[in-house]
Structures are given as structure tokens and as C-alpha cells.
Chain A
Amino acid sequence: MAAETATTTGTEVPHSAGHAKVFPPMNPADFSPQIIWLAITFAALYLLLSRMVLPRIGEVIDERKDRIKRDLESAERLKDETDKALRSYEKALADARSNAGAIAKENQAKLTAEVDVERKKLDAALNAKLADAESSITATKSKAMQSVSEIAADTAAALASALSGQNISVDEAKRAVSTAAGK
């Protein structure tokens, strides 16, 4: 700033006064301190970065890459396991379904057989009762028919006695009736 105090008149271009005549960025007198300090600072920076800083950053990045790779691998493994579990579950489900079907079929067969047996039993009982009833009807009917022929013989004997005035035995009448009934 001190150099600028030299400029007092408005028309003057300031760098005439206190400055070196040379253009400062190319002043050879300033080369050596710049180059020496560049060498010092650049070497220091290189050593600090290459020995200390960059390995740390690289380590963190590598660690993350490894971690991501590991995680992806374990995710892949878990997915395989899930698939396997899913497949075995589906198989179990299918097995259970077919088992259930078999059991249902078996039960149905058993029930049908039982019902058949019951029905047959019932049928047989009913048939027996029917046969009994039929036989008793037949018996009653034959008995009744027998009574009818007796009554007819009696009546025939009575009628014949009355009409003919002869004493006709019941036996004769019976014979006649059965002869007549036999036609």
C-alpha cells in the first residue's frame, strides 16, 4: 500500500514510483525464494498426502467397497435360502393337499360301506318281516278257506237233508263239496 501513496496527480499511472521496473510475475530476483519455498511446501504436501492422508482415504473407500460386496453376497445367499424354504413349503402344502384328498376318499368309502351294510341289514329285516306277514296271511287265508269249506259242507248237508229229507252225513257233504271245489 505504501507504494501507492506516491500517486498524487490524477493523470499519473501509479506503478512508476516505488516499484521495481520489471513486471513482478517475471522478476528474476523473486524466482529463488519462490522456487525454494515451493520445493519445501510441495515436498511437505507430497509426503503428508502420500504417507498419511491418501492411505486413510483409500482405506475407508476400500472398506466400504468390501462391505458392499460382502453384503451383496450375503443378500444373494439369503435369497437362495428363502427360495429353498419357499419351495419346501410349497411341496409340503401339495403333500398335505393330496393327503387330505386321500383321507377324504377313504372316509367316504368307509361311510359308504357302513351305510351299505346297514341298508342290507335293514333290507333283510324288512324282507323277513314281509315274508312273515305273507306267510301269516297265507296261513290265515288257508285257515279261512278251510273254515269256508267246512261251513259250506255243513250248509250243504243241512240243505241237502232238508231238501231230500234224507239224512246226509256231514262227511258225504264234505266229499261232495271238496269234489265241487276241486273242479
Chain B
Amino acid sequence: MADGAHSGSAMPDPIHQFEINRLWHIDLFGFDASFTNSALFMVVAVALIVGFLLYAISGRLLVPSRLQSLAETAYEFIANMVRESMGEQGMKFFPLVFTIFMFIFTVNMLGMVPGFFTVTSHVAVTAALALLVFTIVLLVGFAKNGLGFLRLFVPSGVPVLILPFVTMIEVISFISRPISHSIRLFANMLGGHITLKVFAGFIVMLLGSQSVAVNLLAPLPLAGAVALMALEFLVAFLQAYVFTMLTCMYLNDALHPGH
């Protein structure tokens, strides 16, 4: 961006922020396992989550401090979500659901810091998470219900004539779950950050112009960027919530396949 001054209307590249940089090249049995900027923020997120929660709960206060009540609120929030969608027997998935929510929420929020990398803006990460959930649903579903898990695809109360058709739709919708599950999170984070960067780029472009009249227009995209920033904070939380909520619903199908 140092050359922005003499190039006048140069637009900062909105895609540049998503580039993966290999900070430390590692080769693992022929696979590229390099420690990248993405991995760095994953590690930072894990450290932040564990550090924060352990510190917040360290007082073990009967009347919680602010930090402790924050940790307890997060716990109760996810615990209630799990209980409401899966019932008491779903609580064995609570650590998994809590991990998914805290991980996505924290990397989303870290991504909001200017200059930080957004882990969830890459489809590889969100698809891996969605496939993890999908695989667990399949494994638990068949382990718990045996072939009864297939009832998931045969809704009750449907006329026999159209039952094959409905079953086909159910199978397709089940298989497309990890796709929609992962694309929703990835696209929201990607799109939001590109839009933010574009608006920020407009400010630089307008200020870089020789004309004072054009310079004076710069506050408009600035206001837009501020509003978008607020929206993006909401999206960062909301997408973590949606991903977690859908995880709960899918896991519930594994526990109770009957419609």
C-alpha cells in the first residue's frame, strides 16, 4: 500500500487478505503440513479460548465475577441449546458442540481485527468442520439405531405412491447438508470481509484523487465501512450460532431418526 500515494486511484486488492502464507514449511509424509498464517490464528484462538475460560473460572466464586459469569453464560448458552434440540441424552455431545461454537466464534471475532486472518473464510476449514459433523451423525446414527437410522429418509404419514419420490428428496437433502452447512459460514465470512475491504478501498481511492471535491466524498464510504463493521460483528456471532444450531439439529437426527 506504500505506493498508493503516487498511483492515485489504485484500489487495494480485496482478495489479498485471504492469501495463505507459509510461515514454516513442514512436510508430513508427502502432505504439505506447513504452519501458515491460518494455522497461527487457529492456535491463537485455541490459546485464547482455553486461557480465557480457565482464568475466568479460576476463582470458582459462588457469586461470579464479570469474567466468570461470561464463561458461565457461554456454558449455559450452549448447554441449553443442546438440551432443547436433543434432550438430556444429547448432553454427551455438549463438549463437541461447545468446542465447535467457541472455535468458530473466536476465529470469526479474531478475523474482525484489521490485518488479522479469518480462518473461516476458507472453504477447506468450514468443509472440514461440516464433514466432521456429518461423519459423526452417520457413525452415531448407525451405531445407535442400526438400520433403523434409515427411517430418517422415510417420513411417516406419506402416501405410498409418492413415498419413493419423497425418500429420494430426503436422501439428497441429507447428502447436501455438509455442503450448505460449510458454504453458509464460509461465504458469509468471505463476502463480509471482501465488502469491508472494498469500502475501505473506496476511501483510499477518493482521498488519493487530485480533486478536492472528490476528496470530500471520502466520508461516505467511511460511514459505510463503519456500518458494515457493526454488521460484520453481528454476522461473526450469528454464523457461529447458526453453524452450532445446525450441528445440534443434525446430531438430533442421529439420536432420534424418526420424524
In the bound complex, residues from chain B placing their C-beta under 8 Å from that of A57 are: 53, 57, 71-72, 75
Identify 28 residue pairs between A and B in the complex whose beta-carbon atoms are under 8 Å apart, listed by A's number: A9-B7, A14-B10, A19-B15, A19-B19, A23-B15, A25-B190, A26-B122, A26-B123, A27-B20, A30-B20, A30-B122, A33-B20, A34-B124, A34-B128, A36-B33, A38-B119, A38-B124, A38-B125, A41-B42, A45-B102, A46-B95, A46-B99, A49-B99, A53-B50, A60-B57, A60-B60, A61-B76, A67-B62
Q: Is the CB of B72 within 8 A of A33?
A: no
**Total inter-chain residue pairs, C-beta < 8 Å:** 164
CA distance A34 to B31 in the complex (A): 11
Interface bin, chain A: 35 or more
Q: Which residues of B contact A (CB under 8 A)?
A: 1-3, 7-13, 15-16, 18-20, 22, 26, 28, 31-36, 38-39, 42-43, 45-46, 49-50, 53-54, 57, 60-62, 64, 68, 71-72, 75-76, 94-96, 98-99, 102-103, 119, 121-125, 128-129, 132, 186, 190
Smallest CB separation, B178 vs chain A (Å):
14
If A1-B1, A5-B3, A61-B76 touch, whether A38 touches B98 (CB-CB below 8 Å) is: no
In the bound complex, residues from chain A placing their C-beta under 8 Å from that of B9 are: 10
Residue of B nearest to A42 (CB): B103
CA distance A59 to B75 in the complex (A): 11
* Chain A positions 19 through 61: 1 when the CB is less than 8 Å from some CB of chain B, otherwise 0: 1000111110111111111110110111011101110111111
Q: Per a CB cutoff under 8 Å, which of B26, B61, B102 touches A49? A: B102
Q: Per a CB cutoff under 8 Å, which of A13, A14, A35, A54 touches B95? A: A54
Q: Which residues of A contact B (CB under 8 A)?
A: 1, 3-5, 7-10, 12-15, 19, 23-27, 29-39, 41-42, 44-46, 48-50, 52-54, 56-61, 63-64, 67
Q: Nearest 5 CB-CB pairs, A to B?
A: A50-B95, A37-B39, A41-B42, A30-B20, A31-B124
Q: Is the CB of A33 within 8 A of B39?
A: yes
Residue of B nearest to A45 (CB): B46
CA distance A105 to B68 in the complex (A): 71
In the bound complex, residues from chain B placing their C-beta under 8 Å from that of A54 are: 75, 94-95, 98
